[in-house]
Structure 1
Amino acid sequence: MTKNLLKVFNEKWNSYKHRFIPWIAINLRKNERTLRKVKEGSQDKLVPDEKVAASLLKLFRDLLKNDLGRKHTVLHMLPEPSRNAYQSPQSAVMPFKKLSRHHDPCELMLDSLGFCIERRQSSLKNAGTGVFVTMGMVPKGATVAMYPGTVYQMYEPIFFQSLGNPFVFRCIDGVLIDGNDKGISKIVYRSCSGRDRLGPFSLSDITWLTACPENPLAVGQYVNNCSNEKAANVYYQEFDVPEKFPLELRQYLPNVNYGHNTQLPLRCVVLVALRDIDSGEELFSNYYTIIH
C-alpha cells in the first residue's frame, strides 16, 4: 500500500510543472478548474520565442530611450550606429545630463505595448496582492508579465531559500526560479546581480525587488492562481534569452543565474494572455500544470 502511494506521488511530482509548493496538496484533490493540462512538454509553448523576444525588445528599447539622462555612460560605450538608434535628433545635440524626458514606466508600457499592468489588492478574498490590467487592452498571445527571480539549475543549492517560500517556480526541465522579493532570496538575488556586470553594463534588473520596478512587466510573481469563480486568463511560458540579445537591454531582465560560470542561456518565464484581457481585469494563472 505504501509503495503504491509513493509511486502515485512520484508520478504526480514528475508530471508537475510549476513548483508552487502549497498548490500540490490542494490539487491532489483534482480541482479540474485550476488545472492546466498539456499532452507533452513541447506543446506547453503556444507563442513562438521570436514573438516573446520582439515584445521584450520593443519595451526595453523604449525604457532605455526614456532614461537617457541616467544611462549616458552605457550609451557612450555603444557603437555609434547603436547609440544613434536610441537618440532623437534633439537628444543627440544635448548633454545627456540635461535630458528630462523621463516618463512613468507604466505610461511608457501603455504607449509601447498598448496596455499597462500594476500591483493592487486582489479581487479574491484573502489573496493579498494581485496584478491588474489598469489601462488599455491585452490581446490574446501577448506577453503580459515576467516572473522575476534567481535561476537555479537542478544541481545548485536552494534548500534554505525555499523554506516557507511559496514563490519557487519549477520549470518543465527542473530549473527553479525563486521569485521571492524578501529575506534570503532578496539577498541572494542582489549578490548575484552585483556580481554579473560588464563595466557599466548591468546584466540584470534589481528594481523588481522594490515598489517601483523599472521594468513594469516584472510583477509576475504576484499573479494569483485561478479559482472556480475566476478562470485563468494567462499562462506561464519558458523563454531562454538568446545570445544575440542586446547587451545594453539586459539591464531590464529581472532574472539572474545563481551560478556564475554557467554556459547555459538565462532562463526567463513570461506570462502570456490566453484571451483578450480588458482594462480593470485581474490576471489569473494556473499554479498547477500537468504534462501528460
Structure 2
Amino acid sequence: MIRGAIKTLEAKWKSYRHRFVPWIAVNLRKNERTLRQVTARSEDKTVPDVEVSASLVKLFTALLGNDLSKREVLNLLPTSVQSRYAQNVPKTQTDSPGEVMLDALGFRIHRGPSSLPSAGTSVFVTHGSVTKGATVAMYPGTVYQEYEPILLQSIGNPFVFRCIDRVLIDGNDKGISKIVYRSCSGRDQMGPLAMCDVSWLTDRPENPLAVGQYVNNCSNERAANVCYQEFDVPEDFPLELHQYLPNVSYRHDTKRPLRCVVLVSLRDIHCGEELFSNYYTIVH
C-alpha cells in the first residue's frame, strides 16, 4: 500500500512540477544549455505570422475541399467562397486528413510512443520532410486569460501551456477540460459553421496538426527541432476555415483575437524523426 501511495504521489508531482516556481528555477540552472531566450516578447517569432497564417489556410482549404461531409455547408456559402473549393471537392471518396496534409504541406505527422524512457506519447514525422520555418503542429485547447478561473481544470493536468503574456491554453483532452472545451465550442457555433475544431478530443482529429500538446521537451542529448510560437488569428482569416482551429476562448470576446500556439521547425526535419520542443523560454 505504501509503495502504491508513493507512486501516486510521484505521478501527481510530475504533472504539477512544471507550475512549481522553485522547481522550475532549479531546473533552469540544470538545463541552461537547452533554454530558449529572447530579448523581448515581440522578438519571440521564428517566422512572420503572415507565413503561419498562409500555411494554415493552405492546409485547411485542402481539408475542407476534400471532405464530402462538408459539401452541404459549402453550398450555403457565398458563390465567391465556393469557387475556392470547386476544384478540390471530390465526387466519390476522400483522402484521410493525413494524406491531405502530406499533399498540401509535404509532410505528415503522427502520435506514437516516444523514444525517451518514460516519456509516454510523442509526435513523429512519418512521411515526407519538413523544411526550416514550417508550421509543424498546433497546441489545441481552451484559451484562458490570466484572470479567468482554471484551478479545477489544472489539477493533475500536465497539458496547461503558459504563453509569454500569461494567457493559458488547456490542451487536456479528458475530464473537466474536455467538458469545458465542448461547452465553449457549442456556444460559438454560427449556424451550420463551427467556429473551432472539436475532433482533436478524439482519436481521429480532422486537423492533423492538432497534436502539439504531445511534443516532448528537449534535453542536452536531444536538441529541440521545433519551437512554440504564439499566433493570434487575424480578422481576415476565412470564416469557413475556423472549424479547423483547435482552440476556443473560455469567454466569448469579439474584441480579442483568438490565441493559438503553433510549433515551428527550427531546422529541416526528416522522415522518422521525433519532434522535440523547449518547454522554457526566458524573456529578458
TM-score in terms of structure 1 length: 0.87
Aligned residue for 1:191, secondary structure, equals: helix
2:217 counterpart of 1:219? no
Query: Which position in structure 1 is the counterpart of 2:266?
Result: 274
2:75 counterpart of 1:83? no
Residues 261 and 44 from structure 1, CA distance in 2 versus in 1: closer, same or farther, beyond 3 angstroms? closer
Q: Letter of the aligned partner of 2:185 in structure 1?
A: S
Residues 20 and 150 from structure 1, CA distance in 2 versus in 1: closer, same or farther, beyond 3 angstroms? farther
Larger relative contact order (C-alpha < 8 A, sep ≥ 6)?
1
2:179 counterpart of 1:187? yes
**Cα-to-partner distance string for 1:113-159 (whole Å, 9 max, x where unaligned):** 00000000001110000000001110000000000000001111111
Aligned residue for 1:42, secondary structure, equals: helix
- Structure 2 distance, partners of 1:210, 1:172, is 29
Matches of residues 155-170 of structure 1 in structure 2 within 5 Å? 155-170=147-162
Give the total of aligned pairs: 266
Unaligned runs of 5+ in 2: 1-16
Q: Letter of the aligned partner of 1:192 in structure 2?
A: C
Query: Which position in structure 1 is the counterpart of 2:38?
Result: 38
Q: CA deviation at 1:26?
A: 5.7
Out of 231, 244, 252, which is 1:252 matched to?
Answer: 244
Q: CA deviation at 1:260?
A: 2.0
The alignment yields a C-alpha RMSD, in angstroms, of: 1.7
Aligned residue for 2:210, secondary structure, equals: coil
Residues 118 and 266 from structure 1, CA distance in 2 versus in 1: closer, same or farther, beyond 3 angstroms? same
Aligned residue for 2:30, secondary structure, equals: coil
- Structure 1 distance, partners of 2:204, 2:33, is 33
- Structure 2 distance, partners of 1:117, 1:123, is 15
Query: Which position in structure 2 is the counterpart of 1:122?
Result: 114
Q: CA deviation at 1:54?
A: 0.4
Asked whether the equivalents of residues 233 and 273 of structure 1 are also in contact (C-alpha less than 8 Å), the reply is yes
Q: Letter of the aligned partner of 2:262 in structure 1?
A: V
**Cα-to-partner distance string for 1:78-127 (whole Å, 9 max, x where unaligned):** 11121122112986xxxxxxx32311111111100000000000011100
Q: CA deviation at 1:179?
A: 0.6
Q: CA deviation at 1:33?
A: 3.0
Q: CA deviation at 1:32?
A: 1.5
**Cα-to-partner distance string for 1:58-89 (whole Å, 9 max, x where unaligned):** 0000000110x211232122111211221129
- Structure 2 distance, partners of 1:77, 1:24, is 51
Asked whether the equivalents of residues 66 and 88 of structure 2 are also in contact (C-alpha less than 8 Å), the reply is no
Unaligned runs of 5+ in 1: 1-18, 92-98
Query: Which position in structure 1 is the counterpart of 2:170?
Result: 178
Aligned residue for 1:112, secondary structure, equals: helix
Query: Which position in structure 2 is the counterpart of 1:8?
Result: none
Query: Which position in structure 2 is the counterpart of 1:232?
Result: 224
Residues 29 and 269 from structure 1, CA distance in 2 versus in 1: closer, same or farther, beyond 3 angstroms? same
Residues 213 and 124 from structure 1, CA distance in 2 versus in 1: closer, same or farther, beyond 3 angstroms? same
Q: CA deviation at 1:46?
A: 1.8
2:69 counterpart of 1:70? yes
Query: Which position in structure 2 is the counterpart of 1:148?
Result: 140
Out of 127, 131, 135, which is 2:123 matched to?
Answer: 131
Q: Letter of the aligned partner of 2:45 in structure 1?
A: K
Asked whether the equivalents of residues 35 and 289 of structure 1 are also in contact (C-alpha less than 8 Å), the reply is yes
Aligned residue for 1:169, secondary structure, equals: strand
- Structure 1 distance, partners of 2:102, 2:42, is 32
Aligned residue for 1:227, secondary structure, equals: coil
Q: CA deviation at 1:187?
A: 0.7
Query: Which position in structure 2 is the counterpart of 1:47?
Result: 47
- Structure 2 distance, partners of 1:89, 1:50, is 24
Task: Give percent identity, aligned residues only.
Answer: 70
Asked whether the equivalents of residues 33 and 231 of structure 1 are also in contact (C-alpha less than 8 Å), the reply is no
- Structure 1 distance, partners of 2:162, 2:88, is 46
Aligned residue for 2:208, secondary structure, equals: coil
